[in-house]
Each structure stands twice: as C-alpha cells, then as structure tokens.
Amino acid sequence: MNNDIYDLMVIGGGINGCGIANDAAGRGLKVMLCEKNDLASSTSSNSSKLIHGGLRYLEHYEFRLVKEALAEREVLLKNAPHIIWPLRFILPHQPHLRPRWMIQAGLFLYDHLSKRATLKGSHGVSFGSDSPLIKPLKKGFEYSDGWVDDARLVALNAVSAANNGATIKTQCSCIKAQREKDYWLITLQDTLTGDTSHIKSRMLVNAAGPWVAQLFSDAMDIPSPKNIRLVKGSHIVVPKIHNGDKAYILQNEDNRIVFVIPYENDFSLIGTTDVEVNHDPSDAHISQNEIDYLVAITNKYFQHKIRSSDIVHTFSGVRPLLDDESSSAQSVTRDYTIEIDHKEGLAPLLSVFGGKITTYRKLAEAAVNKLQAFAPQMGPSWTQSKPLPGGDFSSQTVLKQQLQQQYPWIDVPLLERYVRSYGTLTHTMLNNCHKQEDMGVHYGAGLYQCELDYLVKHEWATSLDDVIWRRSKLGLRLNKEQKERISQAIIN
C-alpha cells in the first residue's frame, strides 16, 4: 500500500486524461495518472493531425462545438507553436455535391463564429495549369485551420503535469477501483511485470477513451451512465502526390470528406474513414474496403494516381463518440459530456465521454472546474495563457535561427525537426553536446543517442513504437535493421 493519499487519480493517458492531469496538477492538486499502455497509444495518436473547428460539423448544426473549437484553435496555436502551426486548405468545388452558396455560407460562419487572431480568412480560388487536381476542376475555396503532432501534444501535457508535481505511470493498468467512504481504493497492475500495488485517492477521473464504459464494468462493477459508439477512422500514407504546403479537403458522393495533407516533408497523409466497430479498440486496423475508399476518392480528384502498393504506412484509431442515436457513424456528434457521480460522504467520480483533440484543453478545464467543489484548496484555471513545455518562443523561424547559432554543427533539416518536435526543449535534449560526436550513436534518419536518452528519461518511452511512431514519425524512414538496433538500445 502506498501510504500517500492523492487528491486525484486519472485513468487514461490519452489527450483528455493528460490534459486533466496537467490542469489539476497546475492548480496545486496531488495527482497520479495511470495508462495501461503508452501515452497516446490509441485514439490520440491516430487522428488526422488537425486542430480545426470542424467545417463539416456546421452541416449538423453543431454551432456551439464549432465556435468553441475555433476559439481553442487560437489558444493552441499560441501555446504550442512547436507542434501546432497554421495550415491552408483547398476545397475543390463540386456543384452537384454542395452548392456554392452553401459552402460560402459555411465558410463565412467559420471565419466569424470566433475571433481570428493569427489565421487568414477564406476566399475563392481558381485552379490554373499548375494545379495538381484533374483538369475539369476549375474553381474552389481556400480557408485556414491548424496542423498538430497529436501524440506529442499528449506527451507534452504529461511533461507539464509532471513538472507541476504529478506522478505519471505508463504500462500501468487500473484493475479495480472501489469507494471506501471519502476516498477511492485503487488497485494498479504493472502490465509488463504483473506486479500489483494499491493507492488511495480522494477523487477519481475515468478518461479511458474507447474503454470508458468498459472500465465501469471491469474495475468498478457499476453501470456506465452514458453509452458510447466506437467509430474507427483509418488513414494511409503515400509518397507525396502534390507539391506545396497546402492541404486538400475532398468531398465524396456519400457526403463525407477526406483530407489530403502534406506529411513529414516527403509524404501525403490521406484520411479519414468512419466505420462503426463492435470489437476491442486495441485491434483497430485498416480494412481493404477502407483502403479502396481512400484510394478511389484521391484518384477522383488528383492527376497523380495512387495504388494500394504505394502505401508506406497506415494507422487506425477508434473514436469513442457520445451515443446521440444518430443513424450513421459520420453524423454522430463530436461533442463531449462530463458526468459526475457523487453522493454525500462518498468520494466523487468524474467520467469523460466523447470529445475531440481540438477542444481537449477546454474539456480538461471544465472537468477540473467541476471537481472544485470537492477540493476547495485548488487554484484558479491557468492553461489558457501558459505555453506547453518547449513552446516558449515567438516563432519557428526565430527559434531555428537561434539553434543554428548555438549548434552550427547540426544539419539544418535535423534542427528543423527539433524545432517542430521539441521547441526550446531542444536545449535540454542537447545538454552537454558541443559537437556532433557528443550526440552519441546515430541509429539512422537523424535519431541520435541523446534524443533516445531524452525520450526514455523525460517522456516515458519504453518501446520502439513509442520512439519511432508516437514521439516521432521516424518509422517512415528507418529500415528493419535500424529499428532492431533502436529496440535493443531501449531495452539495454
């Protein structure tokens, strides 16, 4: 038994769980977070990598959600300029799918539902001879949203929480949680060794994402207050199919949209799908039908044709959406709800259902606000104006120039990756490195020992996938032998 009593125990190391842990720790609460796998190991690392208001949500009249997401888009662009940056989108116009007036009205709302401080507004565009789109497409629209390294957003919230005193435990599963009057008695199991331990907490948060309802039955033996629908979204990655730094949003005959996004300089990220699933979210993987769907819509719009054999990587995530009894997976709300279970004299339980990555900070703030009645000692909300770790700089260009002056022996492309992954944390990672040899073993694709050590020591990386797919995307460039060397280095 750990004799320490925590103020708050958070179950789930995705974006909502890490966001709540960070917010609560920064208000002075004693916080522990447990995650049965790696941080962002499921839904939160398998998104479309966008910070966006959700243009298509306007068709479902979700104006409050869009307005909140648009406002949060500005907050996140300011607070995490290393891992989030503006991205312009091209929307080719297909009159038989959506009339011009409807798109113009939607974009007008998108531009004006919330204040825009950093992003440019929308306007019409004409496609010339240099357009990568097929020739019949002559006109369209252009608007702004944001790009995010989703898994790093999760990791940096965990880093911030730890900086504020939180205990972060990965590879640690909650197997039982029972109320003992005014506290929770929680049994944790190390998923690698099988060892168990017990802790006490005055409050409990269920932020288990796709497993939120299952945690009620498996660990607490009580019914879930809400139902969720599990909707799989899959993506493919191919060698880039167009030059330039703009993304494309493609309309399909089924009224869905698919993004084609510049990815890691040399690739295009294409997705997503909406497929309702009833199996274990851990088993999520792309189906051949989904591959065919994404290939077909891409080839319908672009001159450069792709085939299944061009795919270099795929990923699938299961979104735990609040069940609003919608008839189709694509129309299920992306909004969230926060439920509190509390009776006089008993420890409170807060559960998170639904949500989207763009509004995670607002969700976390609202969740901790709801707990304030049970922890009057906590401080005020603070995350809106505080940069995430590494985000305390004015612009990527300025930071890159500063790093070039301080580390002139590092290749510029590698420094650019450091800027867009670590920001000012690059200085921590390169501590005691005064020449290239000080960076240690080079495992390939710009991964040196100093970065590997940093990720293991400061960001809870324990496996190959943690390093090359979640903390970075270097898996796109590493061969089998290089991956084996990295894996052995982590073990040793």
Q: What is the pLDDT of residue 111?
A: 96
Mean pLDDT value across residues 34-49:
97
Average pLDDT of span 77-95: 97
Residues 6+ apart with CB under 8 A from 95: none
CATH number at residue 418: 1.10.8.870
Q: What is the pLDDT of residue 60?
A: 80
Catalogue the long-range contacts made by 92-96 (C-beta closer than 8 Å, 24 or more residues apart).
92/127, 92/133, 92/137, 92/139, 92/140, 92/248, 92/250, 92/251, 92/301, 93/137, 93/139, 93/140, 93/141, 94/251
Report yes or no on 62 lying in a domain: no
In whole angstroms, give the CA distance from residue 251 to residue 93. 8
Model confidence band, residue 209 (pLDDT cutoffs 50, 70, 90): very high
Whether residues 293 and 340 fall in one domain: no
User: Residue 454 has what pLDDT?
Assistant: 98
Structure tokens at 203: 């409050």
pLDDT exceeds 70 at position 313: yes
Residues 6+ apart with CB under 8 A from 249: 55, 89, 90, 91, 257, 258, 259, 260
| Residue 56 maps to a domain | no
Does residue 107 carry a pLDDT above 90?
A: yes
Asked whether residue 328 carries a pLDDT value surpassing 60, the answer given is no
What mean pLDDT comes out for the span 324-332? 57
- In the predicted structure, residue 323 carries a pLDDT above the cut 90: no
Query: Is the sign of the CA dihedral 439, 445, 451, 453 positive or negative?
Result: negative
Which residue type, as a one-letter code, is found at position 246? K
pLDDT for the residue numbered 343: 84
User: What pLDDT is recorded for position 17?
Assistant: 98
Per-residue pLDDT, 353? 94
| Together in a domain, 379 and 427 | no
155-164, 277-286, 429-438: which has the minimum mean pLDDT?
A: 277-286
Q: Are residues 38 and 120 in the same domain?
A: no
279 pLDDT tier (thresholds 50, 70, 90) = confident
363: Cβ contacts below 8 Å, ≥ 6 apart: 16, 19, 20, 336, 338, 352, 355
Helices then strands (H, E): number in the chain? Answer: 13, 20
Roughly what angle, to the nearest 10 degrees, separates helices 15-26 and 150-163? 30
Question: Domain end: 289, 305, 325, which one?
Answer: 325
The CATH number of the domain where 107 resides is what? 3.30.9.10
* Predicted local confidence at residue 278, as pLDDT: 87
**Same domain for 249 and 128?**
yes
Mean pLDDT of the 255-260 span? 94
Contact 35, 239 (CB under 8 A): no
Domain that holds residue 300: 79-147+229-325
CATH number at residue 22: 3.50.50.60
- Which pLDDT band, with edges at 50, 70 and 90, does 489 fall under? very high
241 and 310 co-located in one domain: yes
Residue 473's φ and ψ, nearest 5 degrees, are -120, 30
- The yes-or-no verdict on residue 327 having pLDDT over 70 is no
Mind giving me the DSSP string for 220-251? I-S--SS-EEEEEEEEEEEE-SS-SS-EEEEE
218 plus 337 within the same structural domain: yes
Tell whether 59 is covered by a domain.
no
Which tens digit of pLDDT belongs to each residue from 388-439? 999 999 999 999 999 999 999 999 999 999 999 999 999 999 999 999 999 9
Residue 56 pLDDT: 86
pLDDT at 321: 86
Check residue 267 and give its pLDDT. Answer: 98
Q: For residue 468, what is the DSSP state?
A: I
120 shares a domain with 172: no
**pLDDT range class, residue 290, cuts 50, 70, 90:** very high
Span 128-156, pLDDT tens digits = 999 999 999 999 999 999 999 999 999 99
Residue with tokens 């531009």: 111
Q: Considering the domain boundaries, does residue 463 fall inside one?
A: yes
If asked whether residues 405 and 379 sit together in one domain, one would say no
Instruction: Write down the pLDDT at residue 391.
Output: 98
Mean pLDDT for all residues in the chain: 95
Q: ∠ at Cα 145 (466, 53), nearest 5°? A: 90
Percentage of the chain lying above the pLDDT 70 cut:
97
